[in-house]
Amino acid sequence: MNNDREAILKRVGEAVGGLADRTPYPSFRNDLGVSTARSLDGDLWEIFCERFVAVNGMPVETPDAMVEYLKTFGYTHGYCDPALRESLAPFFDSGFTLEESFDRQDIDRYQFGITRAHAAIAETGSVVVTDRLTSSRLAALAPWVHIACITRDEIIRDTVAAVADLGDDPNVVWITGPSKTADVEGILIEGVHGPGIQICLLL
């Protein structure tokens, strides 16, 4: 393997070593990839909501509204991050079962998963999930409904700021709507491997 390393680096060096004029790194604004068509000025939660809905996400402003939604559709058994339990448990009535650990032997037992998100991106309608804040990768992925919780001051304006905010967490995921595919005849189906319903709850 080490031989391969030396050989590859040697071949790369030979391939580019003789180039007379190497293309310089171009100069461009950090936000070149951010659309200029729609304004990002104003209340970032409002902008996030609009974009999140556009990718079939579901923003929810109060725990009451979230519980109401879960009840209406019969999602009564789920996982809740232990760190959120104290603040959210009072909103659930006795018809619900909330678990604080996620049993990987029986992942289909959980109809929903409530986890803490790190941030949300207004520009793209994405929630940002990090390894350090998410209590369980599986709980934020396997249940049909995922509820990612953020506070108002955690909303980031655009992908440039979100990239700058990646930090040293080993695993950051931007989730832009429910899991989806169009592999079969180009027809859009949601809920392929991950959630079919992606909620963002404002704490």
Partner 1 sequence: MKSQPIDTYASELAEDVRRAVADGSASGYDRRAASLFSDFEDPDFLRRTAGDVKQHTLENLDTYLAQTEDRLKENGVEVHWAGDAEAACRAVLKIMRDNGATKVVKSKSMATEEIHLNDFLEREGIESLETDLGEFIVQIDHDHPSHIVKPIIHKNRQGIARSYEREGLGAYDDRPEVITARARKFLRKKYLEASVGLTGANFIVAESGRLVLVTNEGNSRFCLAGTDIHIAVVGIEKVIPRDRDLSLFLSLLGRSATGQQLTVYTEFISGPRAEGQPDGPRQMHVILLDNRRTEVLASNCRDILRCIRCGACLNVCPIYRQASGHAYRSVYPGPVGAVLSPLLAGEKFSELADLPKASSLCGACKEVCPVNIPIPDLLLRLRDKAKHEGIKSPGTPPMGGWAYLASQPTVWRASLSAGRLMNLMPLNLIPVPALRAWTKSRQLPEWRGGAFRKWMKTRKIGGKDS
81 secondary structure, DSSP code: -
In angstroms, what is the minimal distance from the CB of 84 to partner 1?
16
Among 110, 159, 197, 202, binds partner 1 (CB under 8 A): 159
Q: How far is CA 152 from CA 46, 112, 126, 167, in A?
A: 10, 23, 14, 20
Among 65, 69, 176, 203, binds partner 1 (CB under 8 A): 176
Among 40, 65, 138, 203, binds partner 1 (CB under 8 A): 138
The CA distance from 176 to 169, in Å, is 19
The count of chain residues that interact with partner 1, using the rule CB under 8 A, is 81
Q: Report the sign of the C-alpha dihedral through residues 40, 41, 43, 44, in that order.
A: positive
Toward partner 1, which CB reaches closer, 20 or 93? Answer: 20
The CA distance from 141 to 58, in Å, is 16
Toward partner 1, which CB reaches closer, 32 or 74? Answer: 32
177 binds partner 1 (CB under 8 A): yes
Q: Report the sign of the C-alpha dihedral through residues 57, 144, 173, 98, in that order.
A: positive
The CA distance from 67 to 69, in Å, is 5
Toward partner 1, which CB reaches closer, 90 or 186? Answer: 186
From residue 65 to residue 104, the character string flagging contacts with partner 1 as x (rule: CB under 8 A) and all else as - is -------------------------------------x-x
The CA distance from 139 to 111, in Å, is 10
Toward partner 1, which CB reaches closer, 67 or 115? Answer: 115
In angstroms, what is the minimal distance from the CB of 73 to partner 1?
17
Judge whether 185 and 179 are in contact, CB under 8 Å: no
